[in-house]
Structure 1
Amino acid sequence: MRITNNMMSNNVLYNIQKSLSRMDKYSNQLSTGKKYVLAEDDPINTVLGMHFRTKITESEQFIRNIDDGIQFLDTCDKALGHSVDLINQIRTSAIYGANDTLDQEDRDAIAREVDQLLNGLIDTANTDFKGDFIFSGAETRDAPFQEVLGSESGESGNVTALDYLDPDKEDRKNLNMNSITRVKYVGDSASLNRQIQQSLDLTVNDTGNNIFSADTHAITSGIMDISDSTVPLNDAANLNGLITSPVAPGNPTTFTIGIEGGYMAAITYNADNDSIQDIADKVNDKGVGVKASVEKEVIDNAPVYRLKFEAEDSGKKIVMFDDDKKSEKTTTTPVFINPDIDGFGAFGFPSTPTGEVIINGKQFVLSDYATVRQFMNDVANDEDVHIDKFEYDSINGTFSIKADKGHFIDIEEKGDINGFGNMGFFSGLGVNLGGAPGGEGSNILDSMHMLNKIESGVTVNSRNALLSTVPNIEEGRVVVNGAIIDIDPAVDTIDKLAKRINDKDVGVRASVEEEINSPGTFRLVLRSLHPGKMNIEDREGEIFSGLGMVSKYDNKYTGYPNEISDPESIGVFQVVMDIRDNLYRGENEILSNENLAKLDEVFDNILKYRSKIGARTVAAETSQSKLDDVRINTTNLLSDVEDVDIAEVIMKMQMAENVQTAALQTGATIIQKTLVDFIR
């Protein structure tokens, strides 16, 4: 091979350039501390670095979430600890006040001290964390507990009038007129969560109505005018209008009962043969956490009875619905189709239906689905609908739909489905969608007023009648369980009002129902989807008041299930108020027995929730420690991928400089001089 001077010169120049490139690379590494600057410099390690950096960012966010959650839990724990201290002081005062050696002036002084402790207890229950009230559920901007004073309108019945003890002592009249006589919980039952891992949340709160109340949730029927508790249901007379209609005669009827979030049981009875005692026995046999009993009262020297359902565990809520809201439904009319291929035309409808189905408040437009399977999958996969399974039995040609544990199924079909009237997908297959409440054929729960609902006192002649046709209605806005809805009576109908309420998803089911005894007239009905309060009000204008659902004067209404105790009387506060008032009354025996027993009960309830907070804190700290390890290990891996070894790079830089110097010296001898070199 022939070697020329030109080839040697080119090789020298090429190697000098490579040496300069290496020196530039090492210089950049020393100045940045990184192995590469551009992704193209090292694509594989670039991808690894992005993955590690994402993992570190994620871990740091989770750690911040846990820090915030631990601080929140710590605030809760301190608040409950202070509550425990206050209850211990109240207990000491109650024991001391029950001493027979004290005179009434001493007891009055102790009662005033207990009243101050009550105020402190309420303040503690209204503790906030960074401006958010910790026991309000999701309503964190509002204090969860509101005080009602004896001097306020409607509270005269709760004021302790003691002038009967000594009529000559004017100062003993209405001693707690300016004190707290009721405490209302205005928060909700929502959980507050902090995400601490992928697909794992930490619940940081418990709601005030659970913590500060040891009351057991109970629902009771209206009074039944029967000779004894074994009389069949349809022999019960209507007393004081409490039973609105007879229970469905002849055929067996079913209602569903259980504990919220627990298992539900179907109770089947025959109103012609079964009594309320029979129903109580059937509920108790199911073992779903609900204790059923029959309570006897005497009114006007005659026995009357109530059917009572009581949660076995304090803090648990009962869920119960008539047979139009079961936890599982199965069609009875067989239809043999292939749901993966066939559309709604397989049911005798045109291929593009025009109606809609509402399942547990969620609307599904049938024209959106090319196949029945698509519809079934949408229903089953929608978390807001709470459906566990939606299946088709190809052997029997029937559909079955099952709710999540602790939930029910409420199905409604709307619109004229392709000329079939009210016979739609479910009703056409034999699923009982339920009807308007009351009247002939109503079920036991509605007959006994065990459902929580608010009905409009005013009816309209059409679902599509404008609200402006109702006398005394004025344009404005309404509030349903905290959700604000603007209403214009000139363009809105009663049906639109119901739809807007349902769209808010606030635990209230609104419907427009035709009067059974007056066809062609319709009434707005609101039902709570869970046991508990249902608040509606006119914020501006007169919408609900015009419909006869709220008072025109205070514009508010709160509907509750028919419970034994006042739902607004929160356990621990009511017990403390009873202790204060019995000290004023000098009721030593009640103080020593009943009041102290109840105080111990609410005390134990608070300790139970405090222990839950402690367990969550430990779990959070454990997760935090693991995340710290993940962050440190991932940071080390990222450093291995991206960071340079400074000593090693300095050594390589020195070698590159030596090579560069040698290359230049070699080039000086190889590259021949030209005439340009002699030009001066």
Structure 2
Amino acid sequence: MQITQQMMVNQFLYNITNENTTMQNLEDELSTGKVLNLPQDNPLAVSQDMSARATLSSAQGYQNTLQSALTWMNNTSSALSQIVNTLQSIQSYVMEGLNTTNQTTSDKNALSETVQQLSKTIYQELDTQQGSRYLFGGADPLQPPVTTSTNNIGYTTSGNTAASMEMQISAGISITVNVSASQVMGTASGSTTNLESTLNSTISDLQNGNITGLQTDLTNLQTGITQVVNINAELGSRIKRATAMQTQISQYVTTVQNYKGDLEDANMAKVITQFNTDQGVFTAALKMGSEILLPSLVNYLPNG
């Protein structure tokens, strides 16, 4: 078959065009750092990348939810620890009232006033907020769980605060993140003791020097302390579970990010080397083409 001048020109232009396109793609990779800049670059890899993006977005959403849940539960646990410490302080004052003889009215009033102030701090802890929501709000965290009252302390837990608040931490998996004020104070159904009644009676019994009543109060306070400690321990198990889940999801997110990076990210050293090689080939091809192809009338047109 005879090789004509036109065939040589066409083949030369075809090769030059392909090489120029390859160099343009390499330039895109150099400027973006990505090998997937257009869907046509690698349709299969683009599809896999989109799937990885969706998976990563979902996992990161659960990751954020877990962080919020852990912050909520850790703050709740800290408040419960403070309540236990306060109840133990009240318990020590009750023992002082029981073991101190010949108390004057002033002594009794001082002990009663001290316990009253300590009891108020418990209700202040129950009104702890995270942002605009109440940690111990139960069914409605936007409403304060503590209201004013005419009892000795001046406060009481209010409303239906026993309901749980759940957060979804993974597909099909939810965790209860809250403890309600009524659970802590023993006003919820199934509680072993009512701390609200115990605190009120303790204040009155200290003021009146009611030894028999104080003995009952001391027993009820210990039961109440155990109740709050158990609630905090159960919360601790949920914190441990959420922390383990957070670690798993964090590792999964890292794996997906690495997979996504393998699909998207360009090997810059390889791209630079390839670009320099192709640039050299392109320049050599232009020079060779100018020597092999026969001159045309264009060569004889005056410059400028």
- Counterpart mapping for 1:250-399 below 5 A: 314-315=190-191
- 1:573 alignment partner in structure 2: 196
- 1:389 alignment partner in structure 2: none
Tell me the TM-score normalised to structure 1 length: 0.43
Contact 2:157 2:181 in 1 (8 A): no
Following the alignment from structure 2 to structure 1, what is the Cα–Cα distance between the partners of residues 118 and 162?
A: 26
Following the alignment from structure 1 to structure 2, what is the Cα–Cα distance between the partners of residues 213 and 189?
A: 10
209, 214, 226: which one aligns with 1:591: 214
| AA at the equivalent of 1:97 | G
1:43 has 2:43 as partner? yes
Counterpart secondary structure, 2:45: helix
- 1:200 alignment partner in structure 2: 173
Following the alignment from structure 2 to structure 1, what is the Cα–Cα distance between the partners of residues 50 and 232?
A: 42
Counterpart secondary structure, 1:180: coil
- 2:267 alignment partner in structure 1: 645
237, 257, 275: which one aligns with 1:615: 237
- 1:5 alignment partner in structure 2: 5
267, 281, 287: which one aligns with 1:665: 287
- Counterpart mapping for 1:115-130 below 5 A: 115-130=116-131
Following the alignment from structure 2 to structure 1, what is the Cα–Cα distance between the partners of residues 47 and 298?
A: 51
- 1:62 alignment partner in structure 2: 62
Following the alignment from structure 2 to structure 1, what is the Cα–Cα distance between the partners of residues 89 and 161?
A: 29
The alpha-carbon deviation at position 678 of structure 1 amounts to 1.3
Following the alignment from structure 1 to structure 2, what is the Cα–Cα distance between the partners of residues 646 and 675?
A: 44
Following the alignment from structure 2 to structure 1, what is the Cα–Cα distance between the partners of residues 181 and 160?
A: 8
> What CA RMSD, in Å, does the superposition of the two structures yield over aligned residues?
1.7
Following the alignment from structure 1 to structure 2, what is the Cα–Cα distance between the partners of residues 183 and 64?
A: 34
- 2:248 alignment partner in structure 1: 626
The alpha-carbon deviation at position 626 of structure 1 amounts to 0.7
Unpaired runs of 5+ in structure 2?
none
| AA at the equivalent of 2:97 | G
1:654 has 2:273 as partner? no
The alpha-carbon deviation at position 676 of structure 1 amounts to 2.8
**CA-to-aligned-CA distance 1:643-671 (integer Å, 9 cap, x gap):** 11111111111121121112111210222
Contact 1:118 1:573 in 2 (8 A): no
Following the alignment from structure 1 to structure 2, what is the Cα–Cα distance between the partners of residues 108 and 40?
A: 85
Following the alignment from structure 2 to structure 1, what is the Cα–Cα distance between the partners of residues 298 and 112?
A: 113
The alpha-carbon deviation at position 49 of structure 1 amounts to 0.5
1:73 has 2:46 as partner? no
* Structure with a larger share of its residues in strand: 1
Following the alignment from structure 1 to structure 2, what is the Cα–Cα distance between the partners of residues 586 and 647?
A: 86
The alpha-carbon deviation at position 37 of structure 1 amounts to 1.2
* Runs of 4+ off more than 6 Å: none
- Counterpart mapping for 1:532-551 below 5 A: none
- Counterpart mapping for 1:481-496 below 5 A: none
Contact 2:146 2:155 in 1 (8 A): no
| AA at the equivalent of 1:191 | S
**CA-to-aligned-CA distance 1:334-384 (integer Å, 9 cap, x gap):** xxxxxxxxxxxxxxxxxxxxxxxxxxxxxxxxxxxxxxxxxxxxxxxxxxx
Counterpart secondary structure, 1:98: helix
Counterpart secondary structure, 1:202: strand
Tell me the TM-score normalised to structure 2 length: 0.94
| AA at the equivalent of 1:614 | G
**CA-to-aligned-CA distance 1:206-230 (integer Å, 9 cap, x gap):** 2221222077x4xxxxxxxxxxxxx
Contact 1:126 1:133 in 2 (8 A): yes
Following the alignment from structure 2 to structure 1, what is the Cα–Cα distance between the partners of residues 108 and 276?
A: 93
- Counterpart mapping for 1:419-438 below 5 A: none
Following the alignment from structure 1 to structure 2, what is the Cα–Cα distance between the partners of residues 9 and 43?
A: 33
Contact 1:8 1:670 in 2 (8 A): no
Counterpart secondary structure, 2:149: strand
Following the alignment from structure 1 to structure 2, what is the Cα–Cα distance between the partners of residues 189 and 110?
A: 32
* Structure with a larger share of its residues in helix: 2
Contact 1:214 1:602 in 2 (8 A): no
The alpha-carbon deviation at position 182 of structure 1 amounts to 6.5
Unpaired runs of 5+ in structure 1?
151-178, 218-313, 317-569
Q: Name the % identity.
A: 23
- Counterpart mapping for 1:552-571 below 5 A: 571=194
- 1:114 alignment partner in structure 2: 115
Following the alignment from structure 2 to structure 1, what is the Cα–Cα distance between the partners of residues 297 and 259?
A: 58
